Structure 1
Amino acid sequence: MNDNHSWFFTEALMNEEVSQPVVAAEASAPLGLREQSKREVTRRIRAAAVDLLARKPFSEITTREVAQHAGIGEATLFRYVGSKDELLTLAYGDRMDALLDELQSADDLATEAVGAEGAGEWYCARVRSFYEGRAAFYLQDPANAALYLRQGFDMTSAGRARTIAQGDRLIERVRSILAEGQAAGALLSRVDALSVAQNCHGIFIHEVDRTPTRGFEPSTIWQRVHARLNAQLDPLVIEPPL
């Protein structure tokens, strides 16, 4: 346990009376009620982290602040999350899952409206819509979005697996869209759909990463991603015969 973490526990124990009702309730309750209590505390922690992340950068949020916002003691907080980074995974990860659900539902509806097959550009437009949605979501909270994505590259991060799984989910969806276009004869079949999907995802992550390092305005994220996606996708389109 690092010094900061030890300090969190020391401070939390001084204020533990805040959380004692929750702990006592868990200790004396039947298994079913105890599980309900744990879920309720987890829900409160998640809600507190989401609310605070909407107000300020993750670096400015303290674990004590999250605990107070959730109505528990700080020691109780650390019984549910192992580190401050896990709060980011809880809060931002849930929002990311909801976004991916929304984008996939929108794509499903678009597919139903057009039918099983479309022109090559239509398949490319479907891919771009996913990353346009990701870019709009990024703009809601650029600093925390970048921090969350970086968890996927941190071997010590508790949120790494979830971040990678969400990326893989989007990559697989893009791969399937491109494969559909290839099967329909609308996109070049000699190009590996998975490789293109991975490149598209890499483009988005790279542009998020280099926004602060290059001093780019976050508002230009989609303009930059869009141009690079076009370079990947446009050459795949097979123009219909005249």
Structure 2
Amino acid sequence: MALGLREKHKLDKLKRIRTAARTLFLEKGFDGATTRKVAEMAGVSHATVFLYAKDKRDLLFLVFNDDLDRVAEEARGAVDPSASMLDQLTQLLGPFYRYFAQDSMIGLLGIHEYTTAVASDSPQMQRVKQRAESMLAGICSVIDACKASGTVVEAVDSSRATQVIRAIYMAEMDAWLRTPPLDCEAGVQSLRAALGLLFMGLRA
């Protein structure tokens, strides 16, 4: 069904707001960017910005939520259940490296602001939380499947292991984003090395 004129105008405003916000966050950083400046650059009223984002932090997540939802969906679909646990986790998490290689500063801002906004109930933050929960579920599913196949010991607490793996991923992603020029392959290999250390259990 073709979009009506009103819907087209709303989508156009959203696109302009998102583009302006991305530009300002990259140029000014999170603290330096303002919602008023975003509105001015997007050619909309200040009040219009708040129809799409609750506050400046919400505006940051508005910049990349659609993209990351798509990346997450594609990553889940690319997981090969017959592969090793390490390969499956690489298939699940690796695509995010390729995405953030395009906008490392946006990635760093997102990681930092996520850790300080987990209690927010804004629409954009809820999408971030849903994506995080989906990632945790994906990691847990890989662990459970490997337990069922006998490649991971049954005694492993899947939930706790999932949290540890995600923590390693977040730390690796943060460190990688801070070391330009970004090399996706090097970032993913570093993640694999860190996860491999976990899987070996530091045993003698």
TM-score (norm 1): 0.64
CA 1:87–1:195: 2 relative to 1, 3 Å = same
CA distance in 2, matches of 1:143, 1:234: 33
Partner of 2:163: 198
Identity percentage of aligned residues: 19
CA distance in 2, matches of 1:135, 1:162: 20
AA partner of residue 231 (structure 1): L
- Report if aligned partners of 1:175, 1:193 keep a CA contact under 8 Å in 2: yes
Task: Kindly indicate whether residue 65 of structure 2 is the aligned counterpart of residue 97 of structure 1.
Answer: no
AA partner of residue 126 (structure 1): Q
Q: Shift in Å at residue 79 of structure 1?
A: 4.1
AA partner of residue 225 (structure 1): L
Q: How far does the alpha carbon of each residue in 1:184-220 deviate from its partner, in whole angstroms, 9 at most, with x for none?
A: 22322221222222112111211233457xx634435
- Report if aligned partners of 1:154, 1:160 keep a CA contact under 8 Å in 2: no
Listed as ranges, the matches of 1:112-131 within 5 Å are 118=82, 122-131=84-93
CA distance in 2, matches of 1:42, 1:232: 48
Listed as ranges, the matches of 1:222-233 within 5 Å are 222-233=188-199
Task: Kindly indicate whether residue 179 of structure 2 is the aligned counterpart of residue 216 of structure 1.
Answer: yes
Match of 1:57 among 4, 17, 26: 26
Listed as ranges, the matches of 1:144-223 within 5 Å are 144-155=106-117, 158=122, 159-211=124-176, 216-217=179-180, 218-219=182-183, 220-223=186-189
The alignment partner of 1:135 has SS state of helix
TM-score (norm 2): 0.74
**Tell me, which stretches of 5 or more residues in structure 1 are unaligned?**
1-32, 112-117, 236-242
Partner of 2:11: 43
- Report if aligned partners of 2:75, 2:93 keep a CA contact under 8 Å in 1: no
AA partner of residue 169 (structure 2): F
Listed as ranges, the matches of 1:11-26 within 5 Å are none
Q: Shift in Å at residue 69 of structure 1?
A: 5.4
CA 1:124–1:55: 2 relative to 1, 3 Å = same
Q: How far does the alpha carbon of each residue in 1:5-30 deviate from its partner, in whole angstroms, 9 at most, with x for none?
A: xxxxxxxxxxxxxxxxxxxxxxxxxx
Measured on the aligned residues, the alpha-carbon RMSD in Å equals 3.1
AA partner of residue 134 (structure 1): F
Q: How far does the alpha carbon of each residue in 1:104-150 deviate from its partner, in whole angstroms, 9 at most, with x for none?
A: 1222xx44xxxxxx3xx623311122221122222111111121122
- Report if aligned partners of 2:90, 2:188 keep a CA contact under 8 Å in 1: no
CA distance in 2, matches of 1:179, 1:142: 33
AA partner of residue 100 (structure 2): Y
CA distance in 1, matches of 2:11, 2:190: 37
Choose 1 or 2 for highest CA Rg.
1
Aligned length: 188
